[in-house]
Amino acid sequence: MKRENYREMTKAEIELKLHQYKEELLNLRFQKVTGNLLNPSRIKQVKREIARIETILNENEIGLTKLSEGK
């Protein structure tokens, strides 16, 4: 997902997405250990999404950007 799309979301929605990606990363790591991982590059993609989301949340926290207030 693009950064602009995350900035249009509310903080609660972004935190929910972050939680979902962290759960997915945990599951992918378990699959890797057990040898059932079908798409190894997905781990890298999920890590990047987590980093994107955390960056946006940190920017919002220090006041560099503002997130959507709601719909």
Q: Is residue 68 part of a domain?
A: no
* DSSP code, position 65: S
pTM of this prediction?
A: 0.85
Quickly state the pLDDT bin for 4 (edges 50, 70, 90).
confident
First vs last Cα of the chain: how many Å apart?
20
Q: Give the range of the structural domain holding residue 48, as residue numbers without chain letter.
A: 3-62
Tell me the CATH number at 54: 1.10.287.310
Q: Is residue 46 part of a domain?
A: yes
3-state secondary structure of 6: helix
Q: Is residue 70 part of a domain?
A: no
And the tokens for 52? 């994107």
Mean pLDDT, the chain, as a whole number? 90
Per-residue pLDDT, 19:
98
Quickly state the pLDDT bin for 5 (edges 50, 70, 90).
confident
Check whether 25 has a pLDDT greater than 90.
yes
Per-residue pLDDT, 70:
64
Q: Is residue 38 part of a domain?
A: yes
Q: What is the residue type of 48?
A: R
How many domains would you assign to the chain?
Answer: 1
